[in-house]
Copies of this chain bind each other. A is one copy, B any other.
């Protein structure tokens, strides 16, 4: 275990981000089978990161959004999203990021998320603090919500939920970035929908180290599974300080079918 270096993982993420920036603003996108976007940048960067992982940790498994899927039964499995927020990337928005997580026995163990347009690198190990660049970060838990507090909400909020909230919403277009803005204490909370394990693996390590929690929006959903199992990820999920979860649950109401 001692051969896992978070500084090395940060370097992988930053190098990948620089590659992504070289494509940003002039890349052709294609639709995947699920109609979401993929670009040559996603595929190139995933290959880059997976090659670095495999060279350094040949005994670990690797799961990537685009192609990689090897040895998922191993103790350590890396979970890579080369560009989280590909649609934002294609749209010329700056909120996409590179996400590299490491699971141990299926639990978040280490996470690095890099936002290339801002030079912001978020990271945490399984023990210790969460960081943004060289500063420790922590979730916020205000007693009173006001008009300047904000929630990171999904691009489909208008079709799926009514929201009773005095403050602002922001739609960033990246699940991993949503989690980071909660972890750093900028957003009060986030609602994640249609999350996949590569969107959240790194973010959850950072979120927990920053004092945050993740929970299904619907309290009836069993919390005995781990957040990275399918039974959880198919549900809308809240990310916030633990003390804010119940209040956020009552702010979001699923819409009746129209």
Which residues of A are interface residues toward B (Cβ below 8 A)? Answer: 31, 35-37, 87-88, 91-95, 115, 117-118, 120, 147-148, 150, 153, 155-159, 162-166, 168-173, 181, 184, 186-187, 258
Contacts and interface: CB of A to CB of B under 8 A. Distances in A.
B94 A94 contact: yes
A165 to B, nearest CB: 6
Given A87-B168, A158-B157, A148 B94 contact: no
B158 A169 contact: yes
A158 B163 CA distance: 6
Which of A162, A171, A184 has the largest number of chain B CB atoms within 10 A? Answer: A171
A234 to B, nearest CB: 18
A159 B186 CA distance: 21
Contacts of A172: 93, 170
Given A94-B115, A159-B166, 9 more contacts: A35-B148, A37-B148, A87-B148, A92-B118, A93-B95, A93-B170, A93-B186, A157-B158, A158-B169
9 A-B pairs closest in CB distance: A155-B168, A158-B163, A94-B94, A171-B171, A91-B186, A170-B171, A94-B118, A117-B117, A92-B186
A147 B184 CA distance: 31
B150 A169 contact: no
Nearest to A170: B171
Which of A92, A115, A156, A184 has the largest number of chain B CB atoms within 10 A? Answer: A92
Which of A157, A158, A181 has the largest number of chain B CB atoms within 10 A? Answer: A158
A95 B35 CA distance: 26
A184 B92 contact: yes
Contacts of A37: 148
Nearest to A118: B94
B150 A170 contact: no
Nearest to A95: B94
B117 A118 contact: yes
Contacts of A148: 31, 35-37, 87
Contact of A156 (B168, B171, B173, B187): B168
